[in-house]
Amino acid sequence: MAHITLNGNKKEISEGTTLEALLGQMELPRFYVVEKNLEIIYKENYSSTILSDGDILEIAAFCGGG
């Protein structure tokens, strides 16, 4: 098992989990951005991004205002 931090909360995941697999388990808004260890991850890299013990992920959603 690997331990990551997701939006400030500790989470345990299986070793070798990809970012795409993790996001697939979540209910996310239509538009969002993912940051891993202070680096933006582009959508085309989600399937090749393997999460490791100690990784810090931030997922931020875009919303309009007025």
The one-digit pLDDT tens for each residue of the chain (66 residues) are: 999 999 999 999 999 999 999 999 999 998 999 999 999 999 999 999 999 999 999 999 988 776
Q: Is residue 53 one of the residues assigned to a domain? A: yes
- DSSP classification of residue 23: H
Work out how many domains the chain is built from and give that number: 1
Q: Around 46, how many Cα atoms within 13 Å sit in the side-chain half-sphere?
A: 13
Domain of 15, CATH number, reads 3.10.20.30
pLDDT at 49: 98
pLDDT at 8: 98
pLDDT at 66: 65
Q: Is residue 66 one of the residues assigned to a domain? A: no
Tokens encoding 34:
């993912």
Q: Is residue 28 one of the residues assigned to a domain? A: yes
Is residue 49 within 8 A of residue 18, CB to CB? The reply is yes
The number of beta carbons lying within 10 Å of the beta carbon of residue 7 is 10
